[in-house]
Amino acid sequence: MKSIFALLTLLISLQSSLAGIPDKIYGVNLGSWLVLEAWMLPQGWLDMGGQQCNDCSQCIATEFAFAQAYPKTVDEIFDKHWSTWFTQDDVNQLKSLGINTVRIPLGYWIVEALVDRKTEFFPRGGIRQLIRGLKQLRDAGIAAILDHHALPGVQTPGQMFTGRCTSDVEFYTEANYHRALVWTAGMTALTHLDPDFSSVFAIEAVNEPIMDASQTPNYGDFQKNFVKVVRAVELTLGIPVPGVQLDMKVQTKNFTSALTSVASTSTSDIFNAEVKSALLASVPILVELGFELSIGSIFSFNLATANSQREPLVTNFMDINWQHNNPANPANAAIGPQGYDNHLYYSFGGVADPNPEAYLTSICNLNRVQNDAALGNSPLWFGEWGLPTQFSATDDFLNKWADAQKLAYSQGRGWIFWNFKTEISDLAGDLSRQWSYFDGVKRGYLTKDPSQVHDPHVCDSYRANATAT
Ligand SMILES: *[C@@H]1O[C@H](CO)[C@@H](O)[C@H](O)[C@H]1NC(C)=O
Ligand SMILES: *[C@@H]1O[C@H](CO)[C@@H](O)[C@H](O)[C@H]1NC(C)=O
């Protein structure tokens, strides 16, 4: 009797602790898992059949180039990568280190029907691995952000993280915004309908768009449609969304037919023509996924009873200050809970002079949380950061560098380190020392308890003295 009670309490507390944003995010990215970035596993990439070159558009340096070069074996080779790069052992280690959140970079190609196979080349089968990993994370009580990291058409030139290195950036077009919205409808539906996704609390619209907003036309409209698609799926499911209601009754328990009828007949503001068209395009994809992955709940969702208790997802964008040149403010897109993401790397230049004093002075006086809050971009978390430097850093400096960054980012909602791990090999050399969370903890730069620092006063002598204004 007592143990049944204990179990019930545990289940209830597990459920509620996973709803919404963790009070303070102590997180890591699951980078190079479902979007592989060859630089993070240089030997593994060569062993798979990849190549290394200075200009990543000129050799087999990305998933796209790999799948194009090896159409017959790509799925099998990537399946092996997916099942070995992120494992139950990794989940156990994250849990033992007190990590409460992971950000999971995903490509648009994880929704396989979105890939135009005549001109686009990507491995298939990632969705099963995503579900496998989400189950393991859920069982460990670790919350997850689904991060649309690599967008259809490529959102940033010359980067492995978009899945294809190219200067031909086509994301900021009607056709590719549309595909990203179909992706969003599918991921939102899966999140609410498949219990394997129950640790997911947020979906991030676009990882690292081009920083110059004059090169991202209509991105503000896309942001609004992104939120509307998420909320439209939720309203159809009977999930309450603050401030909006569905103007009709859903008659069927078959989710895909419910979505079809709502998208065809609702006259609510949320359902503009583009949102409707994205929802309708997601229907056959969801039907297929439902059969293929045996997600029966797609065809028999528990209307009203269970869903009226569910929380809407947190819609998540890079913060307004990620872009310059008069960017759209993602805060203007919000309907219901929303969160903001900023990334900060000192090693690529442009932030502080390349020396330890300048780095600490900069991070100890960081005012990004306050600047974003002034524009409505709260809560803010730092979804990518690490320990890399433009100079050779001592162990003593890296202790301070880790502390000072954690303190700065914890002024917001918290932080998500890039990356949970990197390859350890002769070819990788020192890569893991400043890029791997696991290695950083092992070497002592990152404290075993992520909420702690070695020295809470690390910033005292670097802080600009408060002026009386
Ligand atoms: C649910 O509806 C879809 C059409 O949206 C249909 O293809 C599917 O067969 C239906 N499934 C069940 C189990 O009724
Ligand atoms: C702030 O003032 C203290 C004490 O006057 C001094 O030790 C410290 O160096 C000053 N900090 C900066 C960044 O100027």
Smallest CA separation from ligand 2 atom 14, residue: 464
- Give the pLDDT of residue 305: 57
Q: By C-alpha distance, which of 148, 103, 106 is closest to 127?
A: 106
Ligand 2 centroid, distance to 404 Cα (angstroms): 17
Tell me, what amino acid is at 179?
A: R
Which position has the token pair 């903001």? Answer: 340
Tokens of 435: 């890029």
- Ligand 2 interacting residues, C-beta cut-off 6 A: 461-462, 464-465
Is 93 a pocket residue for ligand 1 (Cβ < 6 Å)? no
- Give the pLDDT of residue 322: 98
**Ligand 2 atom with minimal separation from the 463 CA:** 13
- Give the pLDDT of residue 309: 79
Based on DSSP, count helices (H) and strands (E) in the chain, helices before strands: 15, 8
Is 287 a pocket residue for ligand 1 (Cβ < 6 Å)? yes
Pocket test for ligand 1, best of 256, 262, 280, 283 (most atoms within 8 A of CB): 256
Ligand with minimal distance to 299 CA = 1
43-47: Cβ within 8 A, 24+ apart:
43/423, 43/425, 43/426, 43/427, 43/428, 44/81, 44/423, 44/425, 46/427
Is 256 a pocket residue for ligand 1 (Cβ < 6 Å)? yes
- Give the pLDDT of residue 188: 97
**Three-state secondary structure call for residue 145:** strand
Ligand with minimal distance to 258 CA = 1
Angle at 117 (CA atoms; ends 116, 119), nearest 5 degrees: 75
- Give the pLDDT of residue 4: 53
Burial of 75 (C-beta count, 10 Å sphere; 0-12/13-18/19+): middle
Whole-angstrom Cα distance, residue 67 to residue 79? 13
Is 260 a pocket residue for ligand 1 (Cβ < 6 Å)? yes
Ligand 2 centroid, distance to 457 Cα (angstroms): 13
Is 283 a pocket residue for ligand 1 (Cβ < 6 Å)? yes
Q: What is the pLDDT along the chain (469 residues), one digit of tens a residue?
A: 445 555 544 444 444 344 689 999 999 999 999 999 999 999 999 999 999 999 999 999 999 999 999 999 999 999 999 999 999 999 999 999 999 999 999 999 999 999 999 999 999 999 999 999 999 999 999 999 999 999 999 999 999 999 999 999 999 999 999 999 999 999 999 999 999 999 999 999 999 999 999 999 999 999 999 999 999 999 999 999 999 999 998 888 899 999 999 999 999 889 999 999 999 999 999 999 999 888 888 888 766 556 777 899 999 999 999 999 999 999 999 999 999 999 999 999 999 999 999 999 999 999 999 999 999 999 999 999 999 999 999 999 999 999 999 999 999 999 999 999 999 999 999 999 999 999 999 999 999 999 999 999 999 999 987 554 4
Tokens of 111: 């929704």
Pocket test for ligand 2, best of 364, 458, 461 (most atoms within 8 A of CB): 461
Ligand 2 centroid, distance to 345 Cα (angstroms): 26
Is 254 a pocket residue for ligand 1 (Cβ < 6 Å)? yes
Structural domains in the chain?
A: 25-442 (3.20.20.80)
**Ligand 2 atom with minimal separation from the 465 CA:** 1
Q: What is the pTM of this model?
A: 0.94
**Ligand 1 atom with minimal separation from the 259 CA:** 5
DSSP string, 214-235: GGSTTHHHHHHHHHHHHHHHHH
Whole-angstrom Cα distance, residue 264 to residue 247? 12
- Give the pLDDT of residue 114: 98
Is 282 a pocket residue for ligand 1 (Cβ < 6 Å)? no
- Give the pLDDT of residue 298: 84
Smallest CA separation from ligand 2 atom 7, residue: 461
- Give the pLDDT of residue 467: 55
Q: By C-alpha distance, which of 276, 278, 301 is closest to 183?
A: 278
Ligand with minimal distance to 279 CA = 1
